[in-house]
């Protein structure tokens, strides 16, 4: 679980703050670091990302990752390298390459109503991220908490700026209830049963090959892994007898309409997979069945594409991340509007003042009618 730290609430009692300080001194350290402004400069963020990248290229660190994954679930070095190390390297490099662009204020165009105003959107951090690997990251700003359910509950009694949680739907409900106490925003990635619909127009041989690879990936422990198959009855014996009987449940249907009806009766999954060469069928499923994400004629690979968001909907979660969407998730989009004080700027807005003459009505009507059609880019001070 990843948690973003926050300033203490003005209403928090001194006793509660002292208890928090004693039980979780790391939170106090992170809070003080954030209050000092240490984490705000771009160079600090760039340095932390660069250090994280160094960790992912450090042989000893990678060896520890490979050993832990093999001990935990017998994961091979190659799979650990591709799905864990390379994946995170790619994400970190993307953030490093775009950090200046992401953190720069977004300047907005003018219209007739805002002719004398300048406006921009600033991306400001929610707070501090509690992360891992003290050897590479700032020890005051990044922390890891290990413990049982009771320690996690105790941790969540603290007020945070943002909570990012990956896990089950049941625990997600607890996280959301806890966050609601302080109106803390959350991102919940909760998984769910991700279905694979195989239309009769698909290439069965390639479809089977790709499904088996995805199902065996990470020893099957993938939040967007295939949970069950839906296929027409004429495919049933091939799927069940030769390949998927002991691995995946199979639901047989007589038509695409029946498959869509069945999928719509389920909770919204984190991922939906469609195997079909028929573009009309693919489009019908896309239009009819909601899900966190969709992949057509493939599985899993969409989560490594940093151009698109990753996240759930309904019971599979809320919020999105990866690539630019990760930066946006952990940023508050702060609006900043500046009005000019010159003679011209005052005359431009003069019709708003009493008396409400017919001329003022006409000017106001013109402003509002024209403002969406003529974006303007210049400065009046």
Query: What is the DSSP pairing of strand 293-296 with strand 317-318?
Result: unpaired
Largest CA distance in the chain: 84
Which tokens belong to 73? Answer: 């679930």
Residue ranges of alpha helices (H) inside the chain are: 14-23, 25-35, 42-57, 59-73, 77-80, 87-103, 149-156, 169-180, 204-216, 236-237, 256-264, 279-288, 324-329, 343-348, 358-370
Catalytic residue from among 189, 258, 298, 346: 189
Q: Which residue, 256, 237, 218, is CA-closest to 70?
A: 218
User: Active site includes 59?
Assistant: no
CA distance to 286, 339, 343, 352, per residue, from 380 (Å): 48, 9, 10, 19
Element (H, E) at 132: none
Are 74 and 93 within 8 A, CB to CB? no
CA–CA dist 186, 20 (Å, integer): 21
Q: Return all residues near 161 (Cβ < 8 A) that are at least 6 apart.
A: 4, 5, 6, 7, 126, 127, 128, 184
Q: Are 81 and 296 a contacting pair, CB within 8 Å?
A: no
Beta-carbon count within 10 A of 161 CB: 20
Token pair 């909770």 in the structure block, residue? 267
Find out whether 286 and 308 touch, Cβ atoms under 8 Å: no
Provide the 8-state DSSP code for 106: E
250-253 β-sheet, strand order: 250-253, 226-232, 194-198, 271-275, 293-296
In contact, 188 and 321? CB cutoff 8 Å: no
Using an 8 Å Cβ cutoff, are 344 and 117 in contact? Answer: no
Residues catalogued as catalytic:
189
């Amino acid at each position: 679980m990843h948690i973003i730290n926050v300033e203490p609430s003005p209403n928090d009692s001194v006793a509660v703050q002292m208890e928090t300080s004693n039980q979780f001194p790391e939170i106090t350290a992170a809070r003080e670091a954030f209050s000092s402004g240490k984490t705000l400069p771009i160079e600090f963020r760039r340095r932390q990302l660069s250090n994280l990248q160094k960790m992912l290229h450090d042989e000893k660190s990678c060896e520890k990752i490979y050993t832990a994954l093999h001990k935990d679930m017998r994961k091979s070095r190659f799979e650990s390298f591709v799905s864990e190390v390379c994946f995170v390297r790619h994400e970190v490099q993307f953030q490093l390459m775009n950090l200046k662009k992401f953190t720069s204020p977004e300047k907005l165009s003018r219209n007739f109503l805002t002719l004398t105003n300048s406006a921009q959107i600033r991306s400001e951090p929610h707070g501090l991220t509690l992360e891992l690997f003290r050897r590479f990251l700032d020890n005051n700003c990044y922390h890891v908490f290990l413990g049982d359910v009771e320690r996690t509950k105790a941790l969540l009694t603290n007020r945070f700026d943002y909570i990012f949680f990956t896990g089950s739907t049941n625990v997600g409900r607890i996280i959301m209830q806890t966050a609601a106490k302080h109106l803390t925003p959350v991102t919940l990635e909760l998984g769910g049963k991700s279905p694979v619909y195989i239309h009769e127009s698909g290439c069965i041989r390639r479809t089977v090959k790709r499904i088996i690879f995805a199902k065996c990936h990470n020893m099957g422990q993938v939040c967007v892994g295939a949970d069950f198959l839906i296929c027409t009855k004429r495919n049933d014996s091939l799927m069940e007898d030769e390949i998927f009987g002991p691995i995946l449940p199979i639901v047989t249907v007589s038509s695409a309409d029946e498959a869509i009806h069945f999928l719509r009766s389920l909770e919204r999954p984190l991922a939906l997979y469609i195997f079909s060469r028929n573009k009309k069928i693919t489009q019908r499923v896309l239009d009819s069945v909601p899900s966190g994400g969709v992949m057509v004629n493939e599985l899993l690979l969409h989560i490594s594409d940093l151009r698109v968001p990753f996240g759930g909907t309904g019971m599979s979660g809320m919020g999105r991340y990866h690539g630019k969407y990760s930066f946006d998730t952990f940023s508050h989009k702060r609006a900043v509007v500046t009005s000019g004080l010159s003679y011209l700027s005052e005359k431009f807005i003069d019709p708003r003042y009493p008396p409400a003459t017919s001329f003022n009505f006409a000017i106001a009507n013109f402003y509002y009618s024209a403002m969406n059609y003529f974006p303007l880019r210049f400065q009046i001070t």
